[in-house]
């Protein structure tokens, strides 16, 4: 249930309420808004729920008690009506600025990574992407350079000042990846890896959770709930396309998921038009559409020589095409009251 406190509730009132809820076996999550404090009480075996709700309603500092009917609570708008803004380095994701994260699909070498990092920074990107541990459908394709790639990403951050986002695939690597990354990425194939989600929930770093390629929006939000439930609320949701009958594109980018999930959840929404389409020439139009649909950030693959890329060359933009896209995106952002 959600307990909305009156604006005059004091710290002592909150403490008393929290103790009361814990005594009833609830897990307690507090959200302090500008005007009001909202307390989420989750997880008790509550046959006595109605009675407890009634008792709480009688407290002077309680304005209202609302049962939560949705299967996700902490990441839902009911619990936290205000949009969450996640600070990464000196960049805010979820604010007025549309944030662009760009870089190669995979870290292939120091030279390729730093060259790309400099190019995307010059074009206006504010976060560098690059895969160190690559989830591959085939065991015979490139699996990533692992920790060597993490070191290269750290070097690129040193040179450019750009924070880095990179994927973690395995619970055993969470600590290692968290040592280097500014944002940990959970890939589409791991959205329902509940052990990994639980592990990520324990770290104190922002995370970007991609939507499973065959997952509904509700399942995606429940995956995010796994992370929040363990105490990590710094979650971004990334739409990266879903599986449909269409074969002309690599995935079908679900543009409607952006406003849909933004209405249901307070978490920032990222769009990945690179994996969403699989074709570089579709990346600019879909990026623009995503910004207009309300995406808080974009994740775009850029490679200095896409024809030599070890992975995802066909969907990678060349630096000059990326720079042109960045210039074009400014007016799209302005059209929806934001900036780039
Ligand atoms: C990626 O962004 O590097 C990636 C592997 O994406 P996805 O998990 O969406 O396939
Ligand atoms: Mn890729």
Q: Of the CATH numbers 3.30.70.2860, 3.30.470.20, 3.40.50.2000, 3.30.70.1140, which one belongs to the domain with range 2-66?
A: 3.30.70.1140
pLDDT computed for residue 45 by the predictor: 62
- In short, whether 250's Cβ falls inside 6 Å of ligand 1 is no
- In short, whether 167's Cβ falls inside 6 Å of ligand 1 is yes
CA of 255 to the centre of ligand 2 (A): 19
Domain ranges of the chain: 2-66, 86-335
Confidence check: pLDDT of 256 > 70 = yes
Question: Which residue's CA is minimally distant from atom 10 of ligand 1?
Answer: 188
pLDDT band at 48 (very low <50, low <70, confident <90, very high): confident
Which one, of 146, 198, 208, 204, lies nearest residue 178 by Cα?
A: 204
Atom of ligand 1 nearest to the CA of 131: 3
| Choice from 102, 129, 131, 312 to test ligand 1 binding pocket (greatest atom count within 8 A of CB) | 131
Query: Per the structure block, which two tokens stand in for 303?
Result: 């490679």
Q: How many C-beta atoms surround the C-beta of residue 100 within 10 A?
A: 24
Topology of domain 86-335, per CATH?
A: TIM Barrel (3.20.20)
Residue 300 host element (H or E): strand 297-301
Q: How many C-beta atoms surround the C-beta of residue 75 within 10 A?
A: 28
CA 306 centroid distance within chain: 26
Confidence check: pLDDT of 205 > 90 = yes
Atom of ligand 1 nearest to the CA of 167: 3
- In short, whether 188's Cβ falls inside 6 Å of ligand 1 is yes
Residues near 207 by beta carbon (within 8 Å), at least 6 away in sequence: 183, 184, 185, 186, 200, 227, 232, 234, 235, 236
52 sits in the region (left: phi over 0; alpha: psi -120 to 50; else beta) called alpha
Which one, of 128, 50, 58, lies nearest residue 88 by Cα?
A: 128
pLDDT digits (tens, 9 = 90+) for 150-165: 999 999 999 999 999 9
- In short, whether 275's Cβ falls inside 6 Å of ligand 1 is yes
CA of 133 to the centre of ligand 2 (A): 11
Q: Identify the bridge partners of residue 186 per DSSP, sorted by sequence position.
A: 209
Helix (H, G, I), strand (E, B) or coil at 102: strand
pLDDT digits (tens, 9 = 90+) for 285-319: 999 999 999 999 999 999 999 999 999 999 999 99
């Amino acid at each position: 249930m959600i307990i909305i406190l009156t604006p005059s509730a004091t710290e002592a009132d909150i403490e008393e309420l929290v103790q009361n809820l814990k005594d009833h076996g609830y897990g307690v999550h507090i959200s302090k808004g500008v005007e009001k404090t909202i307390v989420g009480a989750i997880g008790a075996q509550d046959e006595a729920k109605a009675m407890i709700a009634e008792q709480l309603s009688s407290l002077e500092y309680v304005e209202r008690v609302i049962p939560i009917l949705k299967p996700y609570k902490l990441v839902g708008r009911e619990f936290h009506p205000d949009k969450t803004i996640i600070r990464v380095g000196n960049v805010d994701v979820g604010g007025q600025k549309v944030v662009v994260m760009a870089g190669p699909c995979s870290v292939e070498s120091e030279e390729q990574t730093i060259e790309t990092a400099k190019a995307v920074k010059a074009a206006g990107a504010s976060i560098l992407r690059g895969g160190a541990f690559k989830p591959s459908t085939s065991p015979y394709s490139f699996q990533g350079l692992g920790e060597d790639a993490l070191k290269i990403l750290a070097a690129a951050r040193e040179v450019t000042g750009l924070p880095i986002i990179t994927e973690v695939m395995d619970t055993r690597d969470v600590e290692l990846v968290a040592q280097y990354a500014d944002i940990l990425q959970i890939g589409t194939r791991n959205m329902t890896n509940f052990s990994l989600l639980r592990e990520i929930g324990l770290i104190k770093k922002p995370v970007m959770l991609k939507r499973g390629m065959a997952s509904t929006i509700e399942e995606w939000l429940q995956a995010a709930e796994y992370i929040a439930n363990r105490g990590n609320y710094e979650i971004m949701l990334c739409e990266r396309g879903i599986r449909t009958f269409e074969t002309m594109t690599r995935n079908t980018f679900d543009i409607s998921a952006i406003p849909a999930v933004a209405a249901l959840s307070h978490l920032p929404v990222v769009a990945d038009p690179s994996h969403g389409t699989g074709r570089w020439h579709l990346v600019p139009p879909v990026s623009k559409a995503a910004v207009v649909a309300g995406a808080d950030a974009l994740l775009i693959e850029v490679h200095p020589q896409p024809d030599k890329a070890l992975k995802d060359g066909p969907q990678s933009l060349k630096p000059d095409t990326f720079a042109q896209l960045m210039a074009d995106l400014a007016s799209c952002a302005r059209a929806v009251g934001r900036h780039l």
